[in-house]
Structure 1
């Protein structure tokens, strides 16, 4: 790492975040979001758009198995369907979201069947059925978004994300000069980490949607999630017989009888904890590489589904949807009430952002390194990447490198993992390498742990505080992740896409002075003992902090205000690397002159969709 001036000043020796800002104001939308229901609600989104969701599972266009890995004489890595939740800006305030006289429903966070999903988490965590009571409050948690709500057709007011957030959803409109009457939203593809699901990061995905992005969150069926259910059609495309014939996949008698597959977390043989920093055996490369291959294939399938919706053929997707009444883990709502005509041409299929957490960030890295295959991607956001899960770059293929802008956001816990931090640095350098350097940033969120970028820290803040020693306010950590990401996208997206982002000002997180890790005073570190590296932090004088963390932070803020010291970015983040303004300008000039998506990629997606639906139709690309 190069050494920069402006290292953080010495703190007060308490190892706390001394002058953190308050989280954004988020008004509850109903009794489920009230403080009277502790531990069972997620914070509402802070952007000016209400958020809608759609739950989609459709048969994969190209079913197949990955690798020769088998358990009980069956391939364990199989692509048969693709499952996703789509988060998007909705067109009305929640009080107007009525459909046929009934209030629109909200998707469950844990998913159905709830007890079995909790058991899946218990198996993943090694506690078995003991997880069921722990997840009991979350069984009644619903996303603060509305199922199958109409996609927004207006320009919401831009929101200042640096002033604590709006106290109420704005109802006015703010159409930029020269912009079309209806906004065309940028697309984000989101990949979850180990132990994750498509709803585990609903706060991050929903926040993006509330600011004007369409987010497609894929649920991976690669044995990296706690539990997931793969449905099969009762006839025609997607039946078990058809999948076995088309994709050389296999099912046992039990699966054939019940009509669905159950995929639990897959522990590597003879090396179940290959994710641990202290594991002498290292990572199970055969399994992890095969999982990456399956993951990127699922993302390709999800992109094709989004292409079909963009083309105005969403009804074809609805007709094939396996997350509807009569199928396992499904809601009776399905995709009822969606006006697919309103979706035609309403989001961009190029300049797509790839975003992921942990193993999902490793998945994003693999995609960005293969720009020839994923040439609709123009930038990436990686939250707390699990570096050991990445596939090393191909030495014989120097063009397989990251050539797009990249934002890497670390938790403080992962920053203290030396080999992992070095890997993240290498990715930033890879993106910034000549002859075509891409603007890239690397930052750390102080007081955060690995799950601070998921919903778990929001639902179980005391667990994270007592056992993982998280000292950052989880809602403030969410704000910092989103504000930094929105700022990054405003820097690197072309002007017509950037103006759709309904955030302005931000907190200038990416403009703060760089602070190399070896220049940060030891009094500001929460570095744990070696046995707990990457797992948790260390709190000095923890007994004093436990008396009242909220009071502690409030007193610090009041003291700072009395002495005239305003909150500084260094109080909450460490920015390790940032690009020069010239490199950002060169990137924008280059991206403005290119559509970002080769015509053949659209033709390929169109051909695949047409074969499964309407061979005579032609894709419209009004947003491109």
Structure 2
């Protein structure tokens, strides 16, 4: 799956027009705040059948310690002190039907105003300043982020965990009323669902709420998502609280973990961690950076990130064991602590969390540098034996550790979903393709997929493209509808999980609309016509896209998308095929899926019937030496030289 060495330079050919795409799922506003009249930006509501709740937790680390010998200002640069997370989960709010009404002892306390977590976080101006420093614009970022200072997550803080089976339909089928309905229990299932878990790792410049739409969508379909905020200097700005006394105090952390603190950090009771720029190489993330990546710093950051995710997993296990009140006692995100809401964890029904989560067969999911973190965890199943599959969104390949020893390779199913902008970065595409090959390699090949979402850019898998669609359109040249891009990411991920999770976990996720994205025809990158591509000039590689008639399109992307749908309908193509919205570069063979399901405990071998039979048989050739399945990708000269034979890896 490597690109030919003689392929033309990026931007040397004509670029494609707007791709044909479906409309996004409808997302009804949930209140006055979500309408344009309010002085701020709103996030779209979630489409699954469950309402979504969130909890904000920061607790002292069980094993605090510094990472790496790197120091600045006479202290270790990377230290594990506390772990901060937002948990997104299926909730029960307002919508109890007569059959669902819980006993009075279990009824939630009604508050005058039901709280929702801030997207930007507290203190808002200070966080915006952190983004400005990360982006290199300083205080100019404050007015840019002013509209999102009012933005709140479309989820209810501290609401009760759902303990019922949701209907098998989403909001597109039945509207928002579905979120107050009870579904029927699957045959052979327990009376109450036990929800599968996802650990989420953000990318450079990200936070635990920057991907709230992805995390909240998963939660609305029956997953508990633990999104960790990394304190490794990869985020714009984060605050590490110290307990007033006892466990988690500055003195305790120094004694137990040999943590370094400055005097002012002692006095104010918290640390401030801003984005860390590598010394002498601040733009080490740029594709054309001559100095390359500062691997000493980046690998130390991955080590710290894995430790944080490990600590967060331990917190989730405590909740599942009925120790929620002890977690609440240790929580440092409450009134009187930096960056905290006055609500803290008030009103949480901890008894509902006991035995409500599957703490094995956990999915690790990450974007960009978070995807690099996920890969490293998937390679160390001896340490992270509870992780059984991975979702890799637009991985930053240059920050990923190279493959190590034979016993530290990916041996779990993965799906890698690229933005189109990152697909044009040759070395990055080769890296992600090699990861899929690694997962599919002997002796225990695992089913894995690699696809590209057409018209998307690197931030299309975060909330940024939803909150700032015009910025992404004008400056990053994104042409995909941000909400449709979210639908494609989620639907492909849910299809992947329905194929790879154990049967008793996969049945929780019954309501998503299967678009058969994973069964689309193969589109090897080297055989895609340039007329279908949106390749930028080389200096903009990985950063943005380019299309025909660009400035005319920028007048109103929405009108152009509507015109494209009308044009295709006039030509007799009302609904786009999957290949018109995605390029599926690699998918597993039917036999490899069968073998994986049969050898993996808890998996259902009958799931192989979910596949449509069009999956090519890997490396099987006809007597003439041509592939069994050869896709027609004609329609223009090929972007990377002569067409090449592609086999499913």
TM-score normalised by structure 2 residue count = 0.87
Counterpart in 1 of 2:34? Answer: 33
Structure 2 CA distance, aligned partners of 1:593 and 1:253?
53
Counterpart in 2 of 1:559? Answer: 567
Which of the residues 408, 413, 422 maps onto 1:400?
408
| Corresponding position: 1:16 with 2:17 | yes
Counterpart in 2 of 1:480? Answer: 488
| Corresponding position: 1:587 with 2:596 | yes
Structure 2 CA distance, aligned partners of 1:388 and 1:196?
18
CA displacement, residues 271-297 of structure 1 (integer Å, 9 cap, x when unaligned): 011000010111101100000000000
Alpha-carbon distance change, 123 to 130 in structure 1, aligned in 2, over 3 angstroms:
same
Q: Is the 8 A contact 1:48 1:211 kept in 2?
A: yes
CA displacement, residues 131-174 of structure 1 (integer Å, 9 cap, x when unaligned): 0000000000000000000000110112269xx56432312313
CA displacement, residues 97-132 of structure 1 (integer Å, 9 cap, x when unaligned): 973342320000000000000000000000000000
Counterpart in 1 of 2:382? Answer: 372
Q: Is the 8 A contact 2:15 2:530 kept in 1?
A: no
Counterpart in 2 of 1:440? Answer: 448
Counterpart in 2 of 1:422? Answer: 430
Q: Is the 8 A contact 2:500 2:603 kept in 1?
A: no
Give the CA RMSD over aligned residues.
1.7
Q: Find the residue that maps to 2:81 and give its secondary structure.
A: strand
Counterpart in 2 of 1:530? Answer: 538
Counterpart in 2 of 1:621? Answer: none
Q: Is the 8 A contact 2:127 2:237 kept in 1?
A: yes
Structure 2 CA distance, aligned partners of 1:165 and 1:529?
42
Alignment of 1:97-116 (within 5 A): 99-116=109-126
Counterpart in 2 of 1:606? Answer: none
Q: Is the 8 A contact 2:503 2:603 kept in 1?
A: no
Counterpart in 2 of 1:72? Answer: 73
Counterpart in 1 of 2:619? Answer: none
| Corresponding position: 1:193 with 2:203 | yes
Q: Find the residue that maps to 1:514 and give its secondary structure.
A: coil
Q: Find the residue that maps to 1:99 and give its secondary structure.
A: coil
CA displacement, residues 220-270 of structure 1 (integer Å, 9 cap, x when unaligned): 000000000000100110000010011011111111110100000000000
Q: Find the residue that maps to 2:359 and give its secondary structure.
A: coil
**After the TM superposition, which of the residue ranges 145-154 and 88-97 deviates more from structure 2?**
88-97
Structure 2 CA distance, aligned partners of 1:472 and 1:364?
26
Counterpart in 2 of 1:519? Answer: 527
Q: Is the 8 A contact 1:47 1:502 kept in 2?
A: no
Structure 2 CA distance, aligned partners of 1:424 and 1:351?
23
Structure 2 CA distance, aligned partners of 1:593 and 1:434?
21
- Structure 2 unmatched ranges of 5 or more: 4-13, 98-106, 605-649
Structure 2 CA distance, aligned partners of 1:45 and 1:165?
13
Structure 2 CA distance, aligned partners of 1:2 and 1:194?
27
Q: CA deviation at 1:95?
A: 9.1
Alignment of 1:74-473 (within 5 A): 74-93=75-94, 99-159=109-169, 164=172, 166-170=174-178, 171-394=181-404, 397-473=405-481
Alpha-carbon distance change, 579 to 561 in structure 1, aligned in 2, over 3 angstroms:
same
Q: Is the 8 A contact 2:47 2:170 kept in 1?
A: no
Q: CA deviation at 1:594?
A: 8.1
Q: CA deviation at 1:506?
A: 1.4
Q: Is the 8 A contact 1:66 1:78 kept in 2?
A: yes
Q: Is the 8 A contact 2:53 2:89 kept in 1?
A: yes
Structure 1 CA distance, aligned partners of 2:280 and 2:231?
22
Q: CA deviation at 1:585?
A: 2.2
Q: Find the residue that maps to 1:351 and give its secondary structure.
A: strand
Q: Is the 8 A contact 2:166 2:183 kept in 1?
A: yes
Counterpart in 2 of 1:10? Answer: none
Q: Find the residue that maps to 1:102 and give its secondary structure.
A: coil
Q: Is the 8 A contact 2:202 2:366 kept in 1?
A: yes
Q: CA deviation at 1:591?
A: 2.5
